Structure 1
């Protein structure tokens, strides 16, 4: 049964949307999508009612994000420019009013005018929203986040400028609305009693002397320019009629009477739907601009001294400092991929993904998202930290792995289900859901970072006892009777939690391999012990996979595929995506760590997945009933490493497009990915599945990390680090990407060899030659160039012919330049 405020919110949104021709009401984009194709079917496993599911915004979690690097709280920006500080109880949006005609122009509504949105620049987390009305008025809203004062506390800033599009005089009111619901929803209240997001506004007050708004017990917007009109609205009569919220509102008052109620304070103890509107008159003509600045405190502030600190720095200085910081960080530091003009957008998105990960880092913990995923997972963070270390944000990676991972290492003597508590990596997520993949992920990430940071850093030596050795022993000692890890729910895309998943075992094999190699590098006495644990889990995993493949053949299966786990013989569905990890990120195919026959089966599994579950992107209907952007990137990366760059390119192209989805002409996201990409949004509502689905956060930190790793490995990747170390140069660069005179290049990129690598590749299509200049390289590492332009006719370096095998050119260590001619 719906709670009162959930039912009331649903009714107000629906009636506001259905009756918008009479009195426009700012219904958020996500609610409009739900009403566009409404279904009474909802996730009854999670929510008690359709109203509770609606209020939580369980279906359309798309928005934009701004924030401060390494700070806790982000702010979301909606498709109409709404600004929602994640943990505060309000949302701020802007609209226009013409007192002479009573017309309201709300950017939320399709008949209000045209809305365009973009990031100010790929490296700047600044959202620009441009709203143009039929009357020739335009406002542009710039929203960013920054830090102020000696304690560097967070502040979101939005700047709005109004001008005439025609140069003819235009006048009216620029209005700012403070509402409870924002881009993320109204309230997430599930069957477990969790209220992760509760945006109810039960109390709202305007403080004119301080030029700020008070929301519940927190601070709302602070106005640099005091509004000329204001009105605060609530439910003083304790009405349970949803229409009362529409008729007793600022929007109704402006349309019917042309002015606001002038109230300073309101309460709503029924539904928490207090609201307020503030208005500034403007008159603009040729070359005239009207501007206001609004500051949104998104940290802990109280008292007059804090208010003075919020207001102290001019907004021009805040904006300039924000621009300077991100320009220095993303254009001057870290890996700077150089790609040809036809794919220059990949470089732009690379920088944007970097900024998203840096913003999602909370004091060194990278979180997968800003709202429901604003928490620390070993699984997600292992990939995110590795991505950061390989694109130049090594300080963040070191802080996460060296500080926060030990904090998740359990030292208790109790039990977690069938497993020992001591030696297990994980907090509440990992413990409650039996995420047995986490130890393998922690060991893998620590080992990979130890390689990247180099021997001189001694990173792994500092963590070896107990965080590496004892975590490896946990993997050795906590397995089922078949030698595999127990049943659990390590990742929700793998299937049921009461079954075992090969995903856990593959991570365990990779983690034990890295632990044993780390033990060798630090000279630990447990080297034989750790190699024995690796061999044992490797044997059990490979034997189980062989058994499953044999069973499937015996049942007449003509396609080869590794299902999600040994309890899923014959299960040909999209949960088999876990096998992509065999290639990426684990690289178990290098050296055939589980055997050549398992390698072949894993390669065939990629093709089986592609044939059944790829329609542009990876369709994950078995668990999510949605596309999986980060799963698509994992599959693309697996194909890159498996030697099929054409499919890699196709999957990458779809995923890039999925970062900018549009519905009914509105851009739903600006270069960011959800965990799940809804079929309706992906198809502009041409495909609306009947079964329910659920959307995760956006931007998704794991997806951003996957993108960074893929672009980096398209430029180059390491292979066989421990036996025959070599680097593949430009393995994913496609011929149609190239234009004459545009190089492919990377400089001073971190590597798993602990030393930087850089090169510059130029293509002469007329001469059918490729020239590669290696600008810096780790000592003793050879190179491989897989020519993608055609059959290699000849390859040389320094006047010497280079060996060629198929399309692969073998280049010895120490080479400074080589040339490849092709047919």
Structure 2
């Protein structure tokens, strides 16, 4: 490509991209932004998404100069999702009354009071919340002072098709109103291209690109179809639509609207909207299917959710939302679980990543949903290529953390379930992944890279193609966890796997020491080619989750300290060079790392940040805007973030990664003073039925029911008490205070303990 500069070509190489695709992506993105900018300047009074107005208005919370291209959602990714237990897709429900059923299928509600048109992008205030955590029911309230709109969104399933059901209520001052449902050429994240829309009069369906978009339980009194020349809102402001049944727009701005007469006397005016979440062609059979969705289908879907909530890991902490966030995080993972394939997001991340999938599979298993965790692990194992490399994602990119993550997920699944027969069945595929790790190391070059994995794009936000330590840390973690389960069954490969792990550890330590000497530092940088940068928010994985180096190695603590000194801001950690936002799961990873080291104060600080930065429906975007505190990067609810929160809370209650099951390691004292109860906790020692704990005054009380580490005919459990024991009383157990201050308990399956502190 002769018109491509040398710098651009080199940039593509640094980032591991094909030059042609790199240029194509950049040009098309720029062209789309300039198109939206020009259209906005010419038609500012149209119905635009609220996130765009907030980013372009000088008084908006997310104001960005237009030259910085704020033409996708940069600061307001706070939406919730609804979906079924067994479905493939999810519907997005934005706090500002935008409903998205597929990437290019979205609709808004507008209100005309006879003299003025109200659109969510420009008018009113909003409130969004869950009807009940753990269930796919979201309530939206839109307050326009004289009138209020309430939408209850949930999901129904019939014939393996998921349908978004929105029950709309209009209340307020008596009068005659018009309620408009308008499809939009944008979703909650970005603008889209819609080439064709039509109004199907058989059942009054709105149809986008020959797929059913929505229908209602009332017949409209107005309808219209529009292109880029005239927006439906420009007619709706006059109280009437153009009556056109179909339009095609080569610029991708095709949209349509339905209008309904709404009379408010003493009661409320209601409308039910049914919008297929799964793509359905416009056929008589499919129209009948959607029309026939009834309350019984909604109830059937909710009963599926009952079965999840009845058996999952749960926690209750007095006066805290943490328990509800855990429950909803499990619900988010369940919605993002597509029968094995699992995606870290419902919209732009509705793809499969080995990295996110490994976290999410392990969290599902730890949440007592082992069947779902197993299905994800089996999907991961299917992604091995002929060389033994596990393809990291659904597009071509080099991410060499994948193989280690696969082995880690397999190892944790087998440890938590004890299913060694499944390990034997999986092992031929697993062995190919181990062989790949053995063969694909650097055997030449600078001393700082020898024995490491080759340069890769790694975890995407770590920067250019370098020898990222993140990849090697995951290789160590995967080989270690797999080695444990192979040793348990006396497998002949266990020593080979453990020897390979040791070689990776030696290579990592050697490289770190060479780089430390070269740079004169006492911490770990992201890669031998780098100095300290915000990819250090990944290097904290040396503690959690990889534990690639012993936790008592001074480098581990010092690396955590330097990371928070350089990239900690307002009790979150910031990825500077790639996202320019807080990292949701990065901050939780740091909290988890400090928990392993027993620093309750730091854990409490970062945990409070995570809790205070959830969306109204208890999720997180991948990155959170420093300007608004809302979602600013990636998708939401992000599956990795949900998984990390589940594992963090579980491990604060009982941690089985540390040799013996350890209660309350890193648990903030303020949470213990509130009192906590957790149930249905799978561990590598078996299912713990219940743990409860509270601090009253200077007394810690613990009740425990479940197994522990087997010691002869007893179970061993360690308690990391935040109080210095002065006296201890124990029912149904024996105890001793260890030199490190922990209390060692031997019991027969159930005990109660009281620790009186000084």
Q: TM-score, normalised by structure 2?
A: 0.89
Question: For 2:481 and 2:31, how far apart are their aligned partners in 1?
Answer: 54
Question: For 2:156 and 2:452, how far apart are their aligned partners in 1?
Answer: 48
Question: For 1:65 and 1:292, how far apart are their aligned partners in 2?
Answer: 21
Alignment of 1:213-252 (within 5 A): 213-234=206-227, 245=229, 248-252=230-234
Contact 1:139/1:162 (<8 A) preserved? yes
In structure 2, relative to structure 1, the CA distance for the partners of 1:227 and 1:321 (3 Å cut) is same
Contact 2:85/2:305 (<8 A) preserved? no
Alignment of 1:720-799 (within 5 A): 720-721=658-659, 726-739=660-673, 743-753=675-685, 755-763=686-694, 765-766=696-697, 768-778=698-708, 780=710, 781-788=715-722, 790-798=723-731
- Are 1:674 and 2:634 matched, yes or no? no
Question: Which of 429, 437, 441 is residue 475 of structure 1 equivalent to?
Answer: 437
Alignment of 1:469-508 (within 5 A): 469-481=431-443, 482-497=450-465, 499-508=466-475
Question: Which of 90, 96, 109 is residue 94 of structure 1 equivalent to?
Answer: 109
Question: For 1:744 and 1:63, how far apart are their aligned partners in 2?
Answer: 29
Alignment of 1:146-165 (within 5 A): 146-149=156-159, 152-164=160-172
Question: For 2:392 and 2:516, how far apart are their aligned partners in 1?
Answer: 35
- Are 1:408 and 2:390 matched, yes or no? no
- Are 1:299 and 2:299 matched, yes or no? no
Q: Secondary structure at the match of 2:495?
A: helix
Question: For 1:397 and 1:77, how far apart are their aligned partners in 2?
Answer: 27
Instruction: Give aligned pairs, total.
Output: 713
Question: Which of 143, 148, 154 is residue 144 of structure 1 equivalent to?
Answer: 154
Describe the superposition over 1:530-559 as per-residue Cα deviations: whole angstroms up to 9, x where unpaired: 222122112111222222233333xxx4xx
In structure 2, relative to structure 1, the CA distance for the partners of 1:679 and 1:348 (3 Å cut) is same
- The corresponding residue for 2:38 is 11
Contact 1:796/1:802 (<8 A) preserved? no
Contact 1:476/1:537 (<8 A) preserved? no
Question: For 1:69 and 1:312, how far apart are their aligned partners in 2?
Answer: 21
Structure 1 residue ranges without an equivalent (≥5): 43-49, 187-198, 236-244, 412-421, 661-668, 685-693
Question: For 1:719 and 1:180, how far apart are their aligned partners in 2?
Answer: 48
Alignment of 1:268-307 (within 5 A): 268-269=249-250, 271-286=251-266, 288-302=267-281, 303-307=283-287
Contact 2:112/2:179 (<8 A) preserved? yes
In structure 2, relative to structure 1, the CA distance for the partners of 1:169 and 1:350 (3 Å cut) is same
Q: Secondary structure at the match of 2:84?
A: coil
Describe the superposition over 1:541-585 as per-residue Cα deviations: whole angstroms up to 9, x where unpaired: 1222222233333xxx4xx210012222xx222212223212211
- The corresponding residue for 1:449 is 413
- Are 1:253 and 2:235 matched, yes or no? yes
- Are 1:577 and 2:537 matched, yes or no? yes
Q: Secondary structure at the match of 1:337?
A: strand
- Are 1:601 and 2:617 matched, yes or no? no
- The corresponding residue for 1:703 is 641
Question: For 1:812 and 1:801, how far apart are their aligned partners in 2?
Answer: 6
CA deviation after TM superposition for structure 1 residue 801, in Å: 5.7
Question: For 1:381 and 1:128, how far apart are their aligned partners in 2?
Answer: 29
CA deviation after TM superposition for structure 1 residue 625, in Å: 1.6
Q: Secondary structure at the match of 2:345?
A: coil
- The corresponding residue for 1:192 is none
Question: For 2:53 and 2:596, how far apart are their aligned partners in 1?
Answer: 41
In structure 2, relative to structure 1, the CA distance for the partners of 1:114 and 1:515 (3 Å cut) is closer
Measured on the aligned residues, the alpha-carbon RMSD in Å equals: 2.4
- Are 1:810 and 2:747 matched, yes or no? no
Describe the superposition over 1:466-523 as per-residue Cα deviations: whole angstroms up to 9, x where unpaired: x2222112211210021111111111232321x1011111111111122322322233
CA deviation after TM superposition for structure 1 residue 764, in Å: 5.7
- The corresponding residue for 1:629 is 584
In structure 2, relative to structure 1, the CA distance for the partners of 1:810 and 1:508 (3 Å cut) is same
CA deviation after TM superposition for structure 1 residue 304, in Å: 1.4
Question: For 1:671 and 1:472, how far apart are their aligned partners in 2?
Answer: 38
Question: For 1:452 and 1:120, how far apart are their aligned partners in 2?
Answer: 33
- The corresponding residue for 1:194 is none
In structure 2, relative to structure 1, the CA distance for the partners of 1:10 and 1:40 (3 Å cut) is closer
In structure 2, relative to structure 1, the CA distance for the partners of 1:391 and 1:250 (3 Å cut) is same
In structure 2, relative to structure 1, the CA distance for the partners of 1:4 and 1:807 (3 Å cut) is closer
Describe the superposition over 1:730-762 as per-residue Cα deviations: whole angstroms up to 9, x where unpaired: 2243332245xx642223311123x11244334
- The corresponding residue for 2:200 is 207
CA deviation after TM superposition for structure 1 residue 97, in Å: 0.6
- The corresponding residue for 1:77 is 93
Question: For 1:64 and 1:764, how far apart are their aligned partners in 2?
Answer: 35
CA deviation after TM superposition for structure 1 residue 92, in Å: 1.0
Q: TM-score, normalised by structure 1?
A: 0.82
Question: For 1:476 and 1:66, how far apart are their aligned partners in 2?
Answer: 43
CA deviation after TM superposition for structure 1 residue 6, in Å: 5.4
Question: Which of 302, 314, 320 is residue 336 of structure 1 equivalent to?
Answer: 314
Structure 2 residue ranges without an equivalent (≥5): 1-26, 444-449
Question: For 2:726 and 2:41, how far apart are their aligned partners in 1?
Answer: 67
- The corresponding residue for 1:38 is 64
Contact 1:13/1:27 (<8 A) preserved? no
- The corresponding residue for 2:757 is 822
Describe the superposition over 1:246-294 as per-residue Cα deviations: whole angstroms up to 9, x where unpaired: xx333333334x322222222222x2212222121122233x1211111
Question: For 2:54 and 2:486, how far apart are their aligned partners in 1?
Answer: 56
In structure 2, relative to structure 1, the CA distance for the partners of 1:9 and 1:522 (3 Å cut) is same
Q: Secondary structure at the match of 2:166?
A: strand
Alignment of 1:353-432 (within 5 A): 353-402=329-378, 404-411=379-386, 422-426=387-391, 432=396
Question: For 1:637 and 1:629, how far apart are their aligned partners in 2?
Answer: 12
- The corresponding residue for 2:596 is 641
Q: Secondary structure at the match of 1:493?
A: coil
CA deviation after TM superposition for structure 1 residue 635, in Å: 0.4
Question: For 1:805 and 1:793, how far apart are their aligned partners in 2?
Answer: 14
Question: Which of 190, 195, 198 is residue 185 of structure 1 equivalent to?
Answer: 190
Contact 1:756/1:778 (<8 A) preserved? no
CA deviation after TM superposition for structure 1 residue 448, in Å: 0.9
CA deviation after TM superposition for structure 1 residue 7, in Å: 4.1
- The corresponding residue for 1:189 is none
- Are 1:458 and 2:421 matched, yes or no? yes
Question: For 2:415 and 2:735, how far apart are their aligned partners in 1?
Answer: 33
In structure 2, relative to structure 1, the CA distance for the partners of 1:747 and 1:14 (3 Å cut) is same
Question: For 2:430 and 2:313, how far apart are their aligned partners in 1?
Answer: 29
In structure 2, relative to structure 1, the CA distance for the partners of 1:807 and 1:158 (3 Å cut) is same
- Are 1:651 and 2:610 matched, yes or no? no
